[in-house]
Structure 1
Amino acid sequence: MTLLPQTELTAADREHGLRLLIIEALFSGGAAALTSGVILTAFALHLGASNVMVGILAAMPFLAQLLQLPAIQLVERWRRRKQIAVFASLIGRTMLAIMAALAFFSGTTALLIFLAAQMLLCGLGAIGGCAWNAWMRDLAPEERLGEVFSRRTIWLTVISLVLGLAAALALDWTRAGSAARNGVFAAMFACGCVTGLISARIVAMMPEPVMPPAAGRLELRALLSQPLGDANFRRLLVFVASWQFAINLATPFFTVFIVRRLHFAVSFVLLLSVASQIANILALRLWGRLSDKFANKSVLAVCAPAYILAIVAMIGASQLGDRTMVKLWLVGLHLIMGATIAGVTLASTNIALKLSPRGSATAYVATNAITTALAAGIAPILGGLLAQFFAARQFELVARWSSPGGVLTLPVLLTAWDFYFLIAGLIGTYAIHRLSLVRETGEIERRAMVGQVLNETRRSIRNISSVAGLRAATDLPGALLRDAQTRIRLKRAQQARTRPMR
């Protein structure tokens, strides 16, 4: 095993690297599932984090992406992508061991160490990710990019769902603030550290082709000037910035709202996250078909308003009195958000690529990524400050109906988080307005797009309820088996052809 790039890569080397790429997904996905997202927020709350600290934690992964700009210069100058990716992974994942030890401490010092460790982890992850992306683009053959990374995505999703459920059960069996809860969090981050280091070891075993000669020095000003001078793309950037600001103002604090305001267990929040991921996976194929058939903007015109309405509808959870109804309400909202964010993510990425002129896609995509990182990074920090402001304020609206039979009074009490979700909804509405100004060929009216969604959904339900649909639901394992058998037969045939004649 060497960390140096190889001047020549044989077909066998490349295939070996692609197999390791899929295996590595199990370990990197496991590390992320056990130490990020809802679990990271829950751990911060366990240590006593304030709303501002939760906002800073949510902002770190986005703001860290800005380090990809100097990372590009580092990759271009050093030209050893494997070394950068491996070293960044090793040092960054070691921070998870520090976080695991912090599970047994509390107070300001523990929180500051936790924030510093997370900051270093995110920063090194962004630098390593820059080198990793450039390396994978050269390792995987262009005609197999979709196949390889779709398989990798499937395994990442599966391991995330499995470990998410396991984490929910582990947290459900322990009491908040107990020594057992300390042990559960410590075990999660320790396991995340171990799986992350195994991931780095597998990455070190993958071959790296030598980078082609440098085309010249990359100037940031020259990189950004063309997309910022494109009027239609600027309109898209305004939509992206306002949209990312709106959703990242609210979504990082769902865990805080559900745990502290609604008094549900962290395990329930993890189950909501799993439900959202399942809805995301199931809806992704539908949005992909519709974006290819019509336009990405048409998909956004349906998904974006639905997602914003779901954020505002979180207010309903604090108005309902029955705990079972609140649970059902939250599950329904997370299913809607999971399904619609799949369409928003897919379509917003595609439309940025579609509006990028041939030969300048790198500059346009980089500008879009910088805009996303800035908006999504600033929003949670400001959101944490707003949450602190509204915590001591409330607004009560009373609706009174008088009749000969008596008086019916319906009080509506808006508390801290209700204000918060309303503000996110208003900014999201502005983002949707900005989307209407973007021009894309092939777009259709929102009403027509809703009709297409309903038709596709009815078709899917009919297929599932029929014998053919039941057969299709069981086709995946069989298809995988047949695919594996075909590859084995092909490999044997190739070996037979290359075997010397006696």
Structure 2
Amino acid sequence: MAAETDASPLADADRPAPPFLGRDPGALARIRQTMRLSVVEGSFTQVFLNWTAGSVLIGYMLHVGATPFQFGLVSSVPLLAQAASPFAAWLAGLAGRRKTLTALFAAFGRGLWALAALLPEMGLPPEARAPFLVLLVAVSSLFQASAGTLWASWMGDVVPDRKRGRYFGLRSGILGVVGMLANLGAGWFLDRVGIPLNFQVVIGVAVLLAAVGIYLLFLHYEPLAASPRPSLRETLVTPWQRPNFRRFLLFSSYWHLSVFVASPFVFPYFLDQLRMTFTQVAIWSAIASTAGLVTTAQWGRVADRVGNKAVLAIGTFLTGSSLPLCWILAGVTGNLAFIWISAVFDALAWGAIGPAFFNLALASSPRENRVSYIATWSLAAGLAGFVGGVLSGPLLTLFLPLGFTWGGVHWTGYHSLFVLSGVLRMLAWLPLRRVRETNAWRTRDVFGAMWSAWRAIGFPWRQ
């Protein structure tokens, strides 16, 4: 056990192999190469994602005069686009291969962003530019969500089961650092170059880097899928007939609804309410990404040992309790130190949630026809997140007139929205507890082990 913990997940990719690979040494070597190559490909893709979302997209939307409802839409339509995932899974079943379809879907979805870079040159009236960006995000997301579903199923077959937590934790941590550097570069550039040229250049370069990532996808190894070719009806219905996976879908839907009730307005709050610059937002992302390199990998190791449920329970509670509190304290005190603290909590919480969520989805689904299960998860999470995002704009509009000042503290509608989302996030353990995971520890047992380990270390002032 100790030797396994210290070994690299990339180096140990040959243990255990997926059953349909047998002991083919050539296939095992290609798996190890693909796991390394996926980190490089993911790095190019991460830069594209960071430069076409987050503070860059929000800043672009502010420039074109988006309304609160449009902010909610542009953050939530990518989730609605995940409704296309089951159809992508069905097409992959007909084709029998996932690599080519993944690359094609990614190429269409990412290539459309060239239109966003050319938006100021298209001659659209000012009032049409924000709706155009929302539409572009929606159409692009249809293809990118389909590509993501196929990629998840494909890599789920490539990465050995016992190494998933560590591998995807390590990969996520590395991509987090790449995203941090990308955010810092974009923030510095956006603050120093005039609008709209700054947004055009950043998005244009992002599209070029995305093309490199798509080329690298073609170099990945694709094992033969251990699944039949299901009908469209089987793709849509079968995952819901599996009781435990159905419970996982309900938990996932609740979680995404809870998060997206507030998440569309975090960056607008930073930029518009706290008056942070793009560089400061990039520094926030840099702190979160740097800390995430450590926390994500460590959480992956913990998940491999104790299971994903306990890691998810801790992470979801932490993101609901710590993040909204820090955002609110920054607003009512005017002290941005709370924002920098929130970046550390963001890394700690989401470093647990990201890999554990993905791995629990894989653990809850059978290898046979797995792509249908991943597609259904994407669909359920996307629809729930879309509903949360659509509700976020009207909720903020409802809360804004209820702001007040008392004892020198100025409470705004943003703060009320963050409290609502925080409470919902902290209660996510309720639907999670019904999901079953083989050999998973209970959360209380994890805390008990942590306390025992702490006591075993001893306190330096004890005699």
Q: TM-score, normalised by structure 1?
A: 0.73
Aligned partner letter, 1:280: G
Pair 1:274 & 2:286 matched: yes
Pair 1:241 & 2:249 matched: no
1:65 to 62, 82, 102: 82
8 Å contact from structure 1 (residues 298, 449) kept in 2? no
1:168 alignment partner in structure 2: 187
Aligned partner letter, 1:251: S
145 and 455 in structure 1: CA distance in 2 versus 1, 3 angstrom threshold: closer
2:430 alignment partner in structure 1: 433
283 and 382 in structure 1: CA distance in 2 versus 1, 3 angstrom threshold: same
Aligned partner letter, 1:121: S
Could you tell me how far apart the structure 1 residues matched to 2:184 and 2:46 are?
14
Deviations 1:148-200 (A, max 9, x none): 877865653343222211112123335xxxxx132211110111122223333
Q: Percent identity?
A: 23
Pair 1:111 & 2:137 matched: no
423 and 197 in structure 1: CA distance in 2 versus 1, 3 angstrom threshold: same
- Please state how far the C-alpha of 1:335 moved relative to its aligned partner: 1.1
Pair 1:335 & 2:344 matched: yes
2:12 alignment partner in structure 1: none
Could you tell me how far apart the structure 2 residues matched to 1:447 and 1:106 are?
60
1:288 alignment partner in structure 2: 300
Deviates more, 1:422-431 or 1:98-107: 98-107
2:231 alignment partner in structure 1: 218
1:297 alignment partner in structure 2: 309
Pair 1:420 & 2:432 matched: no
Pair 1:92 & 2:109 matched: yes
2:321 alignment partner in structure 1: 309
2:273 alignment partner in structure 1: 261
8 Å contact from structure 1 (residues 47, 107) kept in 2? yes
8 Å contact from structure 2 (residues 105, 147) kept in 1? yes
Could you tell me how far apart the structure 1 residues matched to 2:276 and 2:455 are?
33
8 Å contact from structure 1 (residues 25, 155) kept in 2? no
2:71 alignment partner in structure 1: 54
220 and 145 in structure 1: CA distance in 2 versus 1, 3 angstrom threshold: farther
Deviations 1:441-489 (A, max 9, x none): 5434548617718957998xx9xxxxxxxxxxxxxxxxxxxxxxxxxxx
8 Å contact from structure 2 (residues 291, 348) kept in 1? yes
- Structure 2 residues without counterparts, runs of 5 or longer: 1-24
Could you tell me how far apart the structure 2 residues matched to 1:433 and 1:143 are?
27
Aligned partner letter, 2:346: M
Aligned partner letter, 1:256: P
Could you tell me how far apart the structure 1 residues matched to 2:31 and 2:154 are?
15
Aligned partner letter, 2:109: G
336 and 101 in structure 1: CA distance in 2 versus 1, 3 angstrom threshold: same
2:178 alignment partner in structure 1: 159
2:204 to 187, 190, 194: 190
Could you tell me how far apart the structure 2 residues matched to 1:34 and 1:444 are?
39
Could you tell me how far apart the structure 1 residues matched to 2:355 and 2:431 are?
18
- Please state how far the C-alpha of 1:69 moved relative to its aligned partner: 0.9
Aligned partner letter, 1:296: N
Aligned partner letter, 1:63: L
8 Å contact from structure 1 (residues 390, 417) kept in 2? yes
2:7 alignment partner in structure 1: none
- Please state how far the C-alpha of 1:143 moved relative to its aligned partner: 9.2
1:318 to 299, 310, 331: 331
Alignment of 1:340-489 (within 5 A): 340-356=349-365, 364-395=373-404, 398=406, 410=407, 412-438=409-435, 440=437, 441-446=439-444, 449=447, 452=450
Deviations 1:287-330 (A, max 9, x none): 2333333343332332222210124312222210xx4xx21111
2:213 alignment partner in structure 1: 199
Could you tell me how far apart the structure 2 residues matched to 1:291 and 1:10 are?
30
SS of aligned partner of 1:392: helix
Could you tell me how far apart the structure 2 residues matched to 1:458 and 1:103 are?
63
8 Å contact from structure 1 (residues 33, 160) kept in 2? yes
How many residues align? The count is: 430
Deviations 1:227-255 (A, max 9, x none): 4552x554443332222211121122111
2:54 alignment partner in structure 1: 37
Q: TM-score, normalised by structure 2?
A: 0.78
RMSD between superposed Cα atoms in Å = 3.9
Higher relative contact order (CA 8 A, sep 6+): 2
